[in-house]
Chains A and B, each alone.
Chain A
Amino acid sequence: MAECDAEWELCKENIQPLRQGRSVSALHQALCQQQEGNHTALNQQKQAFESELRLYDGDDPLDVWVRYIKWTKQTYPQGGKESNLSVLLERAVTRFTADKKYHNDVRYVELWIEFAEGCSDPMDVYRYMQAQGIGTMQAALYIAWSEEYEKRGNIKMADGVFQDGVKCGAEPVEKLHAFHRALQARACRQMMSSITDQQRDDDEDDDGDEGAAEPQRASLAELKAKGKKKAVVPINRVKASVGYARGLQFKQPLGPRQNSRLVIFDENKASETEPQEPRFEIWTAPPTARAKENEQKPEKWTNVKMPLKSRSGLSVAVPPPKPSFQPFVEEDVQPPAVTPCKINPAVNSVLSSRKPCRPEQTPLKMLQERMQLQTQEDGKSREQSMYCRELLYSGASEFCFEELRAERYRQKHAHRLLSKPEQTHAN
């Protein structure tokens, strides 16, 4: 046990924290096993889970996935590629997207949230979930979503999410309210501290010697004018933060410099305005999780075709038509200096005028396109695999026919042994 303690000390910063905490014994065991390089027991356990995934025929297949993922997290505390955790999560969530009965199962929703946290853009995942109706009745979704907004500093959307949750009647309600209140408290504290910072700055600008002596100042009190000038600085030169201190309601305008980029949050009009949030698209596929730069392998560019030299010149900037008259050219005038062009512009269809850029290809869009293509291909596909594809590729890694069959044989054999204990002695 002492070596395991030492092991813990050496690598504790590599251990990924789990929200529900780690079992100490499992952690020790995992670290010891890694230390010894004991792969066989791990392999066997993994194989057992993989077999169970494929041969399970009960009512609750999600249970196998949940146990497998839990075991993976406990056994591979550092995470990383060996654990296959991201693959497992992705497979688990996509496996049951069509299964309505799991949509508001708390275990399934938590898998989704974990998956989202591993994605490059969790917001996309949460929006997808909402569009598909996954987890809309679970408080966990709204809590995680608003946390994400809060991380990005978007408190108003974070608040909006909680309100959505309450509207949908998410369970458990008390938890939702508690987190909502906590969010508001945090927001208030944040704004108060930013106000005092602001005011300290302003103090230093205005009344240099007064600033240090009086850090706290009533925010709405009139500023005492110093010196002969009796000009009073207007109170509302402090920006929107004042509004926050009054409980997240901005009723007053921002100030003389109306900044058109900031939209005022008015809760009465909250349902209409959706600033900076794109419309809900029809999501055919959930977003991808893995970091694309690590996983993508170089592939043949099968679908990319070089644009042919179009005879019709549709994609090419059509050279301007020759004028019908002869432009007058003075004899002594030099023709306008043309940049020397080796390529004859009439046949040059490769270089065309700059096209407007396409909207940026996010990994999400790429996956969606790929899945759309796949479904299209499958629909009109001219090929059909004559084997049990889903069974082979069900878990994190693949199986072959013999492995499936051997597992089935083993189960039958074990069952037979159990049911006839007295006969084994004779054998």
Chain B
Amino acid sequence: MSLFGTNTGFGSGGTGVFGSTTTDSHNPMKDVEVTSPPDDSISCLAFSPPTMPGNFLIGGSWANDVRCWEVQDNGQTVPKAQQMHTGPVLDVCWSDDGSKVFTASCDKTAKMWDLNSNQTIQIAQHEGPIRTIHWIKAPNYSCVMTGSWDKTLKFWDTRSPNPMMSLQMPERCYCADVVYPMAVVATAERGLIVYQLENQPSEFRRIESPLKHQHRCVAIFKDKQSKPTGFALGSIEGRVAIHYINPPNPAKDNFTFKCHRSNGTNTATPQDIYAVNAISFHPVHGTLATVGSDGRFSFWDKDARTKLKTSEQLDQPITACCFNNNGNIFAYASSYDWSKVQSQYTYFSFVCWLWYSIYYSQLGYFID
């Protein structure tokens, strides 16, 4: 029996490493389906940090809830707990010690969820829906960073109702990522700002967008010494830009590549271009995963500038993805992303899939 009460979610009980034998387009990769998925589109996924034993997955959805599952080593997923907001949840993140989860919502608030006591308190307030939330752990401070559609970026000490700092942005925040001491925020109207977080957060540089279309997702990557050195930026028209902050040769080091387009082998028919919904970097290998509106996910090697793998096409767009802390598990969520607005939708399946390293190693590209 599901811990989340009655729901019409798909697959209440599908387990086993090789998944269920449902229709191909629903689970073409034969990945593990997460039990008791949310009742509406999944907006964000986050795995627990390495400081915590085991793997816990948090997912926020447009049904105003945030759910937590434990992912066991045998592949089973166990629903653990759930919390609610009064509006759709747009972003989630973990604290560095794995004891707290922060959630950001359209109801203009952000909450801190203590997993041990299963209690939440509100820690942030904005004038508009909060789009991104990240935990910052610096040597001399730690705080929560929230980016909102009210064009501000605020930093919160969880103990105080007033923000520690509030930075004005030129436009609404569309996506952000933090790897100390760097933070990147991509805004509407193709704005791109890099912040440095040492001592206290301050704006570091405004970058001219390498992409021609609306920004959709961003993820910071690290160099061989595990220092953040650049970011990958995805747009609404099937393209990702790799941008280094201080490259030796910007013209050659920075580049963009096309992705999430229908196969353009037949030049008579036009190529369909899909939005890139999320980007995630493998914590060990540094390869990147992109998921798109076309219902596929792809893995890329940005240093060799090659595509490693593309999945089969799912029947729905993929809206969120993330790697676990050692890179053995890749979770992706298949649900409607509102790319073609519909006032009424009939059938959804809101599921998360787990993609195990078994498949990863079979393709034989361990980079070491």
A-side residues, CB < 8 A to B, are 39-40, 43-44, 47, 381-388, 391-392, 397-398, 400-406, 408-410
Inter-chain CA distance A43–B338, complex, in Å, is: 24
Distance in angstroms from B131 CB to nearest chain A CB is: 7
Distance of A58 from chain B, by nearest CB (Å): 14
A206 to chain B, nearest CB (A): 69
Per CB-CB distance, the 3 closest pairs between chain A and chain B, nearest first, are A387-B339, A401-B338, A384-B270
B129 touching A385, Cβ below 8 Å:
no
Q: Complex: how many Å from CA A392 to CA B88?
A: 20
Docked Cα-Cα span, A397 to B216, in Å, equals 16
B214 contacts across to A, CB distance below 8 A: 392, 398, 400
Pick from A40, A384, A391, A409: contact of B341, CB below 8 A: A391
In the complex, A381 Cα to B216 Cα: how many Å?
24
The reply to whether B90 and A398 form a contact with Cβ atoms under 8 Å apart is: no
B13 contacts the other chain (CB 8 A): no
In the complex where A382-B267, A388-B341, A401-B337 touch, is A406 in contact with B106 (Cβ < 8 A)?
A: yes
- A383 close to B340 (CB less than 8 A): no
Which of B254-276 touch A at CB < 8 Å? 261, 264, 267, 270-275
Q: Which of B151, B214, B216 has the most CB of A within 10 A?
A: B214
Chain B residues, Cβ within 8 Å of A397: 171, 188-189
Residues A384 and B129 in contact in the complex (CB < 8 Å), given A400-B216, A406-B88: no
B87: chain A residues within 8 A (beta carbon): 406, 409
Q: Are B129 and A406 in contact (CB under 8 A)?
A: yes
Contacting pair B273 A47 (CB below 8 A): no
The interface residues of chain B lying within 8 Å CB-to-CB of A381 are 270
- Asked if A402 and B237 sit within 8 Å, CB to CB, the answer is no
CB atoms of B90 and A402 under 8 A apart: yes
- Contact, CB under 8 Å: A387 / B293: yes
Asked if residues B273 and A385 are in contact (CB atoms below 8 Å), the reply is: yes
User: B355 contacts the other chain (Cβ, under 8 Å)?
Assistant: no
Which residues of A sit under 8 angstroms from B90, Cβ to Cβ?
A: 402
Decide if A383 touches B189 in the complex (CB within 8 Å).
no
Quick check: is B201 within 8 A (CB to CB) of the other chain? no
Considering only CB atoms, which chain B residue lies closest to A40 in the complex? B127
Chain A, Cβ-Cβ closest to B131? A402
With A40-B127, A403-B149 already in contact, the answer to whether A384 and B340 are too (CB < 8 A) is no
Give the contacting residue for B236; candidates A387, A391, A408; CB below 8 A. Answer: A387
Contacts of B189 in A (CB 8 A): 397-398
Q: Are B275 and A387 in contact (CB-based, < 8 A)?
A: yes
Asked if A383 contacts B338 (CB within 8 A), the reply is no
* 8 A Cβ contacts from B294-313 to A: 294
Listed residue (B216, B337, B339) with the most chain A CB atoms within 10 angstroms of its CB: B339
**Are A384 and B216 within 8 A (Cβ)?**
no
Q: A388-B341, A406-B106 are in contact. Are A47 and B128 (CB under 8 A)?
A: yes
- The answer to whether B149 and A386 have CB atoms under 8 Å apart is no
A residues less than 8 Å from B149 (CB atoms):
47, 403
User: A297's closest neighbor in chain B, by CB?
Assistant: B208
Q: Whose C-beta in chain B lies nearest to the C-beta of A402?
A: B90
Contact with A along B59-92 (1 / 0, CB 8 A): 0001000000000000000000000000110100
Among B88, B106, B272, B339, the residue within 8 A (CB) of A401 is B339
